[in-house]
């Protein structure tokens, strides 16, 4: 039944395309349909109506079968349905939203394909260094920004004795952090011939194309985004040499060196112990591969290398006992640039996703002969605890 339903929908899409071509031709020639064209158009219209009626019958049966299946297995939901390659191919070619988890209305009729959403987010987590290191939160539908109250310290504790009055103590200072969501998008494209005649894995193709674009965009935004219609990246927060006790909330502490070549073992040791002990136990080093290549040669005063390679293939290298991660969007040196970050990123920087997930909307009109799938998701990012991350920065 499913195969027949897909065939009928494809036939309907082809007839509608013929009708559109007739109207486009007449419009291009600045005229109305002539008598012959009007007769052909009416025939196509009647045929589309017949196909619509036939499709409706099959869809009614399919709906009832799904309802019966859901009643027999209440744990099965639409969000867990696995769509076949033929169904996904049909969706890309025709834009048919039926059977997909769909948001129609002001958003223009986007769809969420559960398999695609799951696969893309898994690949993003595997490929994105920032997603591996930072705390990721997911906002529910209707929420446009993430808010969190962060304590900046200042609470006082007194000692009491029996029989004596107890005075009030100072309250901790609280700061509100707001992380706004912004849209990022990908536009994978393929030809009509590939969809028509090849055995392309539609889900795999979309996952590969979307993940590659999203990963690159996210890494750039989360490290150097200026906060204008994009996330506020880690490197765009103001940095100062003031320590935690006197530095304003929201500013990061830095250690300055006169160029990347001047970074020594003592510099790293200073950064290590500048970080409060409560953050050090989960802290990691984050740097570009270029900087890592230089740090691998550093020795302590005893002549021992301070860099340790991972014990297994997938294990990260360590520096002063803490893992090292390579983030290629970190700068490799230069005037007034942070070159190394060290800290507890789970507490220091939050990435915000949205419950709507990865949404898709096919487009087969703007570029004849090609099928494009406009895909977008929401992303937010920002520093939450500015004491949890320290920076080593080069000076001019």
In a domain, 27, yes or no: yes
pLDDT value for 137? 94
Degrees, nearest 5: CA angle 58-61-62 = 85
pLDDT value for 73? 40
* Count of positions (residues) in the chain: 396
User: Are residues 72 and 92 both part of a single domain?
Assistant: no
DSSP state letter for 124? H
User: Are residues 40 and 91 both part of a single domain?
Assistant: no
Last residue of some domain: 45, 76, 107?
A: 76
In a domain, 36, yes or no: yes
In a domain, 160, yes or no: no
Contacts 24+ apart (CB under 8 A), 86-91: 86/2, 86/3, 86/6, 87/2, 87/6, 88/113, 88/202, 88/203, 88/206, 89/195, 89/200, 89/202, 90/6, 90/9, 90/10, 91/362
Note down the domain range covering 48: 2-76
Three-state DSSP state, 387 = coil
Q: What sign does the CA torsion over 189, 190, 195, 198 have?
A: negative
Last residue of some domain: 36, 56, 76?
A: 76
Distance CA 376, CA 359 (A): 5
DSSP string, 20-39: HHHHHHHHHTTS---HHHHH
In a domain, 18, yes or no: yes
CATH of the domain at 122: 3.30.2400.10
Three-state DSSP state, 367 = coil
User: Are residues 172 and 53 both part of a single domain?
Assistant: no
pLDDT value for 28? 86
The per-residue pLDDT string of the chain (396 residues; one tens digit each, 9 = 90 and over) reads 556 766 777 788 788 888 888 888 888 888 888 889 899 989 999 998 888 888 788 777 766 655 554 444 433 344 456 778 888 888 888 777 555 555 544 444 568 888 888 899 999 999 999 999 999 999 988 888 999 888 765 444 555 556 666 565 555 678 889 999 999 999 898 888 888 777 788 889 999 999 999 999 999 999 999 999 899 999 999 999 999 988 999 999 999 998 888 889 999 999 999 999 999 999 999 999 989 988 998 888 888 888 988 777 778 899 999 999 999 999 887 655 768 999 999 999 999 999 988 988 888 777 888 888 999 999 999 999 999 999 999 886
Angle between helices 114-127 and 202-224 (to 10 degrees): 50
β-bridge mates for residue 50, sequence order: none
User: Are residues 359 and 252 both part of a single domain?
Assistant: yes
User: Are residues 115 and 69 both part of a single domain?
Assistant: no
Whether 331 and 339 have beta carbons less than 8 Å apart is answered as yes
User: Are residues 58 and 203 both part of a single domain?
Assistant: no
In a domain, 192, yes or no: yes
Within the chain, how many helices (H) and strands (E) appear? Answer: 11, 18
User: Are residues 93 and 212 both part of a single domain?
Assistant: yes
Instruction: Report the run of H or E that residue 5 belongs to, with start and end.
Output: helix 2-28
pLDDT value for 78? 40
For 159, list phi and psi in degrees, rounded to 5. -100, 130
pLDDT value for 325? 95
Distance CA 66, CA 56 (A): 15
In a domain, 52, yes or no: yes
User: Are residues 70 and 93 both part of a single domain?
Assistant: no
Distance CA 362, CA 373 (A): 4
Distance CA 183, CA 231 (A): 10
pLDDT value for 106? 43
β-bridge mates for residue 393, sequence order: 256, 338
Last residue of some domain: 25, 56, 76?
A: 76
In a domain, 147, yes or no: yes
Statement: the pTM of the whole predicted model exceeds 0.75: no
pLDDT value for 158? 57
Strands (E) located in the chain: 101-103, 110-112, 135-139, 145-151, 174-180, 182-186, 189-191, 239-240, 252-257, 284-287, 307-308, 318-319, 322-326, 337-343, 349-354, 359-363, 370-383, 389-394
User: Are residues 11 and 117 both part of a single domain?
Assistant: no
Q: Domain count for the chain, please give it.
A: 2
User: Are residues 119 and 22 both part of a single domain?
Assistant: no
| Spatial CB neighbours of 230, under 8 Å, sequence gap ≥ 6 | 182, 184, 221, 379
Q: What sign does the CA torsion over 183, 210, 93, 26 have?
A: positive
In a domain, 157, yes or no: no
pLDDT value for 71? 47
User: Are residues 226 and 93 both part of a single domain?
Assistant: yes
Tokens encoding 96? 């048919």
User: Are residues 128 and 182 both part of a single domain?
Assistant: yes
DSSP state letter for 359? E
Tokens encoding 363? 């487009």
């Amino acid at each position: 039944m499913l195969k027949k339903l897909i065939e009928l929908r494809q036939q309907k899409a082809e007839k509608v395309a013929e009708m559109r071509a007739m109207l486009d031709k007449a419009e291009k020639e600045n005229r109305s349909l002539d008598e012959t064209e009007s007769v052909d158009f009416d025939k196509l219209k009647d045929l589309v109506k017949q196909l619509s009626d036939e499709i409706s019958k099959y869809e009614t049966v399919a709906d009832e079968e799904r309802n019966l299946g859901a009643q027999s297995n209440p744990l099965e939901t639409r969000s867990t349905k696995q769509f076949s390659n033929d169904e996904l191919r049909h969706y890309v070619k025709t834009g048919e939203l039926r059977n997909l988890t769909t948001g129609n209305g002001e958003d223009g009729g986007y769809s969420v394909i559960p398999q695609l959403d799951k696969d893309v987010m898994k690949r993003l987590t595997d490929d994105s260094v920032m997603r591996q290191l930072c705390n990721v939160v997911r906002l529910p539908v209707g929420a446009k920004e993430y808010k969190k109250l962060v304590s900046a310290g200042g609470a006082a504790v007194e000692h009491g004795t029996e029989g004596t009055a107890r005075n009030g103590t100072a309250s901790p200072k609280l700061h509100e952090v707001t992380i706004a969501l912004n849209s990022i998008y990908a536009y994978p494209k393929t030809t009509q011939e590939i969809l028509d005649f090849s055995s392309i894995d539609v889900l795999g193709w979309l996952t590969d194309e979307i993940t590659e674009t999203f990963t690159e965009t996210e890494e750039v935004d989360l490290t150097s985004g200026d906060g204008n219609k994009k996330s506020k990246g880690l490197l765009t927060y103001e940095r100062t040499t003031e320590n935690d006790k006197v530095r304003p909330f929201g500013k990061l502490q830095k250690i300055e060196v006169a160029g990347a070549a001047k970074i020594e073992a003592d510099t790293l040791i200073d950064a290590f112990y500048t970080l409060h002990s409560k953050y050090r136990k989960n802290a990691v080093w984050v740097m570009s591969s270029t900087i890592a290549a230089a740090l691998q040669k550093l020795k302590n005063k005893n002549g021992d290398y301070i860099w340790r390679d991972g014990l297994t293939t997938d294990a990260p290298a360590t520096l002063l006992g803490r893992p090292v991660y390579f983030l290629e969007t970190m700068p490799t040196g230069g005037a007034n640039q942070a070159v190394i970050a060290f800290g507890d990123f789970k507490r220091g920087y939050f990435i915000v996703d949205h419950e709507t997930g990865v949404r898709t909307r096919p487009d087969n009109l703007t570029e004849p002969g090609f099928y494009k799938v406009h895909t977008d998701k929401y992303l937010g990012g920002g520093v939450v605890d500015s004491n949890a991350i320290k920076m080593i920065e080069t000076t001019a």
